[in-house]
Amino acid sequence: MKKIALAVMGVFVAGGAYAGAPDWSKVTERKVKLFYPGQAGLEWVMNKADHSAVPDIVEKKRACSKCHEGDANEIGDKIVAGKPVGSSKSVLEPKPPAGKVGWIPATFKAAHDGEKIYFRFEWVPPKNGDVKMDKKNEVKLTMMFDGGGTVEQADLNGCWGTCHNDLRSMKDGKDDKKTKYIKGASLDGGKFMDLMQFRSGKGEKPVDGYITDKRYMEGGKGLVKAEGVKEGNKWVVTFERTLAGGGKGDHAITPDKVYSFGFAIHEDYTEARYHYVSLNYQFGLDKTVEGVKYYYNVTKQ
């Protein structure tokens, strides 16, 4: 009885946005620091001369989150201000955007009901500036995940396997159409990142795509809804997706696996690399994983 009442209330409050979704107040929350990465692509973070941690990543299998969950905010603050970072003292933002904050605190939640999985992201937007790169969308939220160990090193670096120095807006970018890719990707072998995106612009549709040799913004059949509402001074974005997926570039989400993921927010009408990103995280269904702080147990509601 109580559960029904709450569900109905959810629908009422959000104007239908939560129909079918879990009672989020009962779902464990995970705070995540999203930071401004500048031009810290895969080739930079995996180059020892730039980043002294490379041997630890490669040989000891240390994940980005393991070392940087605590200081991701400081990293973002330094990079966005154009300060030199890493052991090579690289400037990873050659043109520091005026007034842009270095990081945003976000809250992540996820739950499932045996058929569908639900993700929820909440954050307070920073102040908007005058420049509008993407005129249509004030906000975009994108989540990527692998197929449970199917993308090499995704368990260590989340989305970094898709982020390269030769992409548009990156340091060696020559082609302003070049989007994310994974080296040696294959759809058949599961070596791809599944992608879901919410866009805030009027009339924009949820994006259910994937990343292989480039970023595809369609093909998936798993994403049922991608919605966002501004509740007071914060954004709340939710995804509703079937566990089975079933489309092109959809990973099936099954209880036997642990999935690596990351997410990014394009705030303030930005595009390309001018976003805030999470470090690597992992999720599984009704499964505890001891000793991995960046793991989130998605429980059945």
Q: Which residues bind ligand HEC (CB under 6 A)?
A: 40, 45, 51-53, 56-57, 62, 64, 66-68, 75, 78, 85-87, 157, 160
Candidates 268, 270, 244, 206; CA nearest to 114 is 244
Six token digits for residue 269? 């009408």
- Least separation in angstroms between CB 145 and ligand HEC: 17
Q: Considering the complex, what minimum distance in angstroms separates the CB of residue 98 from ligand HEC?
A: 21
- Taking the least distance from each CB to ligand HEC, the nearer of 51 and 109 is 51
Q: How far is the CB of 95 from ligand HEC (least distance, A)?
A: 17
80: number of Cβ within 10 Å: 23
Minimum Å distance from CB 84 to ligand HEC?
8
Six-digit token string for 173: 């970018």
Residue 176 CB: number of other CB atoms within 10 A? 9
Q: How far is the CB of 169 from ligand HEC (least distance, A)?
A: 16
**What residues contact residue 28 under an 8 Å CB cut-off, 6+ apart?**
109, 296, 297, 299
Residue matched to tokens 């630890």: 56
CB of 91 to ligand HEC, least distance (A): 11
Distance of CA 115 to the CA centre of its chain: 22
Could you give the angle at the alpha carbon of 93 between the alpha carbons of 262 and 77, nearest 5°? 65
- For 250-276, letters b (16+ CB in 10 Å) and e give bbebeeebbbbbbbbbbbbbbebbbbb
Closer to ligand HEC by CB, 75 or 264: give it.
75
Would you say 85 or 226 has its CB closer to ligand HEC?
A: 85
Note the residue count of the chain.
301
Query: Closer CB to ligand HEC, residue 109 or residue 164?
Result: 164
The residue (of 57 and 185) whose beta carbon lies closer to ligand HEC is 57
Taking the least distance from each CB to ligand HEC, the nearer of 69 and 240 is 69
Among 288, 295, 285, which Cα is nearest to 256's? Answer: 285
The residue of the chain with the least Cβ separation from ligand HEC equals 64
User: Shortest gap between Cβ of 287 and ligand HEC (angstroms)?
Assistant: 24
Return the number of the residue (29 or 152) whose C-beta is nearest ligand HEC: 152
